[in-house]
Amino acid sequence: MAAEDFVVDLRRLDSRALAQVGGKAANLGELIGMGFPVPRGFAVTTAAYARVAEAADLDRQLDAGDPAQLGERGRAALLTASVPAPVADDVCRAYMALGKDVPVAVRSSATAEDLPSASFAGQQDTYLNVVGTQAVLDAVRRCWASLWTDRAVSYRAGAGIDHRAVQLAVVVQQMVDAQVAGVLFTADPVTGRRTRSVIDASPGLGEAVVSGAVNPDHVVVEGDGRIVEHRLGDKALEVRARAGGGTEQVVTAGGAARTSLTDGQIAALVAIGRRVEAHYRAPQDIEWAIDGDGTLWLTQSRPITTLHPLPRPSGHGLRVYLCVSLAQGLTRPITPMGLSAFRVVTSVPAADVFGVSIADPVAGPPAFATAGGRAFADITPGMRSATGRALLPRLLDIMEARSAVVLRALFDEPALAVRTTSQWPFVRRVVSVLVRYRVPPLLALSLLRPAAARRRVDRFGDRLRRLTEVSADATAVQRLDHVQRVLSRVFPILPGVAPVFGAGLAMLAVARRLAGDDLDEAASHEVLRSLPHNSTTEMDLELWGLATRLRADPGAARALRGTPAVELARRYRDGALPPALQHGLGAFLRRHGHRAVAEIDVGMPRWSDDPSYVLGVLANYLRLDAPDLAPDAVFARGALAADAAVAATVARVRRRSRIRALAVRLALRRVRDLAGMRETHKDFLVRLLALARAQLAIVGELLAASGLLTDPADVFFLDLAEARSALAGTDHRATVTARREEYDRELRRRHVPRVLLSDGTEPETLSRPADVEGALSGTPASAGTVTALARVVLDPVGAHLEPGEILVVPSTDPGWTPLFLTAGGLVMEMGGPNSHGAVVAREYGIPAVVGVADATTRITTGQKVTVDGAAGLVRAPA
C-alpha cells in the first residue's frame, strides 16, 4: 500500500498495511489469509484517522482544559471536523466495490486493541447494518470519536497505554444475515480450563449476546468432543437487521423450549475454534455467525487476556502447581534474576529433603516452575502421596489458609489419586536433615535456655556475614560465582534459626492442650501481642523513634512534610538533607537498608538503593499526633496485655490443677521468650539476597560499560546463565527489552491464582468460600473489632495512610510493616493465621482478617468497614 492510502482491502494486507489497520483488522486479515471464513470488507487506515485528527487540531484540543474532560474534548473535536475529501473518496469507492447499498458492519480497530495483554473488548463503538455511502462515512466518523469515550480513556489509563500513542483504524465488513450468532471461548473464561470450549448462542445478530441483552443458550464442550453442559436460555430478545439500515430489538417467546444450535453446528464451532487457537497459540474469544444457508462465519477473534499463563508441563498427566509467590506474600511479578535466584535457593532443599538429583543448581529442581513472572511449585507428587496430603494442607493452614482449602478440595480428583502410601522414605530424609543441621540440640537449648539459643542465632548471623564477603578486586565472573555460593546458603538458615521460634510455637500448642478451654483463640492472640526479639517490629519501632526525634527538629520536620519523598531520596544521596534527617536516616539504613518491599526478589531495589519509601513512611508518621496512639505506647500496652493474658490463663487453670497451671505458665513464658524470633530467619535470608544483589549490580555496571546492556539494572532481567554468557560477549539487549515489556504487563495483573492445574483450571473458582450475609469472610488473624474508613493499597511505595484507617491489601511482607504502626486494622487477600501480616498485626494489637477473597476490589478506599478479627469477618455498616 502507498504511504497515503486511506483504505486497504482485508484480503490484501501486506506488512506495511498491518501497521496501519489496528489489531482487529490485522487479526481478520490474518484469518482470511489462513483460509478461515471471514466476511468481505476493508479497513480505513490510521493514516485516515491521522488526517482527520490533524484537520480537527486534536492535539491542541487535548492539551487544553481539565484532564478529567479529556475524552469529551477528543470526541467533540472529531465529530465536528469535516472528513478530508481524499479520505471520503477512498472510503466511498471501497464501499461501493462491495456492491450497491450493501449492508455493512462498521467497527473500531485501534492500534492498542486485541493485544495479547489487553483486548480492549467493547471500548470503542460498533455500528451494524449500515447502508449507503453517507451512512458509512458517518459511522466511520463516530468510530473515530469513540476512541475518546470515557470508558476507552479509562481503560487505556488502567492498562498503562499512552493516549497519544493510540490511533484508530476502522473495519467495514459485509453484514452476515445471521440466523444465529454468539461468542465462542476456546478455554473456559471462568475456571481457566484450556481443554474446554464455551459457547453462548442466540437467534439473530450476535450483538444481543455480546452486549448481555439476552439470556443465551450456554454450551460447554470437553476436549474429547463431549457436550458436558447445554443450558437453554430464554432468548426473550433478538437483535435483527432492519430494512434500509440499522437494527431493532424484537421480543420473542418460547426461546427456552428450542435450541439455537444443533450438535453438528456445535462440533463445527469447536473445531474451527481449535484451529484458530492453534494458529495464534493462545486461547481465543471468537465472535461468529451462521447465515440462512448454514454457513459459519467468523467476525472477530481476540485473545482471552484474563487467563493466567500456564507453567511449562513438568510431568505427564494432570499437574498441580502451587503459587509460591503468593504463599510468600508477593502478588507482583518477580524479575527474571529473582526467579533465577529462587532456582538456586530451592535446589538445596530439593536435594537434601526430597532426594532429588540436581544436575545444575542454576537450572533448579524439576518441580520449580514459572508463569507470568510468578514462581510455582509442582506439588503433584505430594498430592499423590499420603504423607504429602497430610503435611501440605496443614503447612498451608498456617501460611496461606485459603490455599489449604483449595488443595483439600482436589483430594477427590481421580487423576490425583494416592499412589504412594509409605511415609518412611520421606521421614528418613527429614530425620537425616534434622540430624545433619543439629536441629534437636537447638530445640532442646531453646526450651531449656532461651537466651542462650538467641545468642546462638546471633552468632549464626555473624558467620553468615563473614562468609558472604567478597574481594574488592574480584572479576565479574568471580562475582557471579560468589552470588551462586551465597544463594546456596539460604536454605541452611532455616534449620539454623527456625527451631528457636518453632519451639515457642510448639509451647503454645502445649499450653493450649494443657489449658483446654481456659486458653481459647482470642486469649492465644493476646499472649502473642508485642512479642520481644522480633526483628521486624524492632525495625518498625526504631523508625518510629526516628520520626519522634525528627518531629522535634524544625528543619527535618519541614522537609518531610513539604517535600516529595523521591526528591528527599535524591537529596539524601547528595548529602543535602537537614542534618538530623541525613544522619538519622543513614543510621537506620546501615542497620536495615537490606530490606525492601517485595524483598524476596533479588531484582527489587533495597531501601539502601532507594530510601524514598522509608522517607514517605516517616512523613506519614508525622501525621500521628495522639500520644495514646503512638506505636511505642501501643506496643508497651500490648506487652502488658500479653502478661495479663498469661496471668489470667494460669489463674483459670489453677482452679483445676496447680501442677497443670505451673506447666502452662512455663509453656507460655517460653512462647514469649521464643516466638518473636519468627522473623529472624527472614531477616537473614534477605541480608543474603541483598548481598547477592549488590554483586549482581556491579556485574550489570560492567556489562553496561561494555555496551552489552543498555542500563546496569538490565542485569536483573537476565538469569544467572544469561549474565554469565553476557560476560562472554553475548548481546542480550533484545531479550531484556522483551522481558521488561512482559514484566510491565504483569505488574498490571490484579488476579493471580493460588493453585493452578496444568489444564489451566483454577480450582479456587470451583470452591469459593461462602460469605456470611452482609460480610466478607476470611481467616481470623488478630482478635479485636474496629470500625473505620478503609484504605486500599496495592503498592506501599508512596502510599498515604491516615492514622486509624483500615489497611486493605493483597498481601504483605516485612517491607509493608512500617504502615502497620498507624493502621487501625488490617484486611488481606492472602495469608493464614501465622503468615507475616497476621503475626505483625497481633504484635501491634490491631484487628486483622486474612484470606479475604478479592478484598481490594470488593472494598473501596473511603468506605466505612468493620473488621472483626476474632470472627474473621469484614462488614460494611449500613
Beta bridge partners of 303: 284
Rounded CA separation 772/826 (Å): 19
Q: At CA 540, angle to CA 539 and CA 544, rounded to 5?
A: 115
Rounded CA separation 820/807 (Å): 8
Residue 866's identity, in one-letter code, is: T
CB atoms closer than 10 angstroms to residue 261: 19
Nearest to 89 by CA among 50, 22, 136: 136
DSSP 853: T
Question: 441 burial class (0-12, 13-18, 19+ CB within 10 angstroms)?
Answer: exposed
**3-class DSSP assignment, residue 101:** coil
Q: Considering all CA atoms of the chain, what is the largest pairwise distance in Å, rounded to the nearest integer?
A: 101
- Crossing angle of the two packed helices 401-409 and 386-399, in degrees rounded to 10: 150
Under 8 Å between Cβ of 843 and 537: yes
b/e code 674-699 from CB counts within 10 Å (16+ = b): bbbbbbbbbbbbbbbbbbbbbbbbeb
DSSP 385: B
Residues 6+ apart with CB under 8 A from 536: 679, 682, 683, 814, 817, 836, 840
End-to-end Cα separation, the chain, in angstroms: 62
Rounded CA separation 380/416 (Å): 8
Which three cell numbers mark 120?
A: 480492549
Nearest to 189 by CA among 320, 306, 318: 306
Rounded CA separation 540/839 (Å): 14
Nearest to 300 by CA among 280, 317, 315, 281: 280
Which three cell numbers mark 131?
A: 447502508
Rounded CA separation 663/654 (Å): 10
Beta bridge partners of 284: 303
The residues assigned a catalytic role are: 836
Q: At CA 8, angle to CA 3 and CA 10, rounded to 5?
A: 140
317 phi and psi angles, rounded to 5 deg: 75, -170
Reading across the β-sheet that carries 779-782, which strands appear in turn?
Answer: 775-777, 873-875, 864-868, 785-792, 806-809, 825-828, 848-850, 779-782
**3-class DSSP assignment, residue 782:** strand
Residues 6+ apart with CB under 8 A from 216: 182, 200, 201, 202, 208, 209, 233, 235, 260
> Cα 448 from chain centroid?
44
Rounded CA separation 757/753 (Å): 10
Rounded CA separation 812/469 (Å): 30
Under 8 Å between Cβ of 81 and 52: yes
Nearest to 804 by CA among 816, 792, 790, 814: 790
Residues 6+ apart with CB under 8 A from 838: 781, 782, 828, 831, 832, 848, 850
